[in-house]
């Protein structure tokens, strides 16, 4: 059971969060100690752990093993990340680590692309290419134009796009439906993809309700989207560590930089908590500070 949890969590860290394999493995090492603690108490899955189990484990590390506070804090960070992921994926009903104090997590500002980098990135694939190239071009445009999560993109159905109103109906976390506007370029690409490329991709699976398909007509997985993003960044000559979430970060950052209301951005991103969206105010502030430092004589 623990191995299944580890595999799912490492996949989330590397694909969704874009962390390096070394960083993801460090999280695993911290969690393995907690897994051993639970196993000794006849608990065979993280998903069965209670808040009391977590608190007892942290006390055990501190009192019995005299572990350094910094190490305990790091392990708590890993535990909180694990259970937050379980909660987001609806694998547990209640997050037992939710109210536990820990150092601030994920406060490093997310990478995002400049407008020029976005242009280069989105033009990495030609809209006049073969069906797979047009599909890739369309997917990347939609990720940026509407700020979709990877899972939302792969789950999009053929009837999700309203061409007249230029909106996309998305099934987000918690199976919540939201309507997201999209741009003229994305709409034009979607129309072209659906009429010319998708019928070719769907030839082996004509009954599929999904919008984006593999060369065999199957559902695309997160790893494939990740590899497409990596390939596009190489073609565009962008040296940043890009992953699918980078386009979502760029979507929100560019909206905020151009005066969009934070509450509107929250709704479009499908964030349940405005606090999650507020990180983009820090991104924008960081951008302004960088401009000031670079161009002001006293910067």
Judge whether 173 counts as a catalytic residue.
yes
17 is catalytic: no
Q: Answer yes or no: 254 catalytic.
A: no
Residue with tokens 């407008």: 115
- Which residue is listed with tokens 């590397």? 14
Catalytic residue among 135, 149, 222, 243: 149
CA-based Rg of the chain, rounded to a whole angstrom?
Answer: 21
Q: Does 280 qualify as catalytic in the annotation?
A: yes
**Residue 165 DSSP code:** T
The answer to whether 245 is a known catalytic residue is yes
Backbone angles phi, psi at 127, to 5 degrees: -80, -10
Which of 198, 243, 248, 254 is the catalytic position?
248
Closest CA to 178 of 275, 271, 252: 271
Q: Following DSSP, what letter does each residue of 88-122 receive, concatenated?
A: HTTSSSS-TTTT---S--S-SPPP---HHHHHHHH
271 as an active site residue: the answer is yes
| Number of alpha carbons in the 13 Å side-chain half-sphere of residue 75 | 22
Catalytic member of 75, 243, 245, 249: 245
Q: Which of 11, 84, 271, 287 is catalytic?
A: 271
Specify the long-range contacts of residues 4-12, CB closer than 8 Å, at least 24 apart: 4/45, 5/45, 5/46, 5/47, 5/82, 6/31, 6/32, 6/35, 8/85, 8/89, 9/81, 9/82, 9/85, 11/222, 12/85
Token pair in block for residue 90? 């609806």
Catalytic residue among 166, 173, 224, 230: 173
Residues labelled as active-site residues:
149, 173, 245, 248, 271, 280
């Amino acid at each position: 059971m623990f191995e299944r949890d580890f595999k799912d969590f490492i996949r989330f860290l590397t694909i969704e969060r874009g962390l390096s394999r070394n960083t993801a493995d460090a999280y695993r090492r911290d969690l393995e100690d907690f897994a051993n603690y639970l196993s000794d108490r006849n608990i065979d899955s993280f998903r069965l752990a209670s808040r009391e189990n977590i608190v007892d484990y942290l006390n055990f590390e501190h009192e019995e093993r005299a572990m350094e506070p910094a190490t305990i804090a790091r392990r708590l960070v890993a535990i909180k990340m694990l259970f937050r992921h379980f909660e987001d994926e609806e694998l547990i009903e209640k997050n037992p680590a939710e109210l536990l104090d820990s150092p601030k997590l994920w406060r490093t500002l997310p990478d995002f692309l400049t407008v020029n980098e976005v242009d280069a990135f989105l033009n990495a694939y030609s809209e006049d290419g073969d069906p797979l190239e047009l599909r890739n071009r369309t997917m990347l445009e939609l990720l940026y134009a509407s700020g979709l999560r990877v899972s939302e993109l792969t789950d999009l159905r053929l009837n999700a796009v309203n061409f007249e109103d230029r909106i996309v109906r998305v099934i987000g976390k918690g199976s919540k439906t939201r309507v997201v506007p999209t741009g003229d370029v994305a709409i034009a690409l979607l129309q072209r993809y659906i009429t010319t490329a998708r019928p070719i991709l769907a030839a082996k699976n004509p009954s599929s309700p999904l919008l984006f398909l593999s060369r065999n007509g199957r559902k695309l997985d997160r790893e494939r989207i990740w590899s497409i993003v990596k390939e596009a960044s190489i073609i565009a000559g962008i040296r940043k560590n890009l992953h699918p979430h980078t386009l979502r970060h760029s979507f929100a950052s560019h909206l905020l930089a151009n005066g969009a209301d934070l509450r509107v951005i929250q709704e479009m991103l499908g964030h349940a908590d405005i606090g999650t969206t507020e990180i983009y105010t820090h991104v924008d502030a960081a951008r302004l500070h960088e401009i000031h430092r670079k161009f002001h004589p006293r910067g």
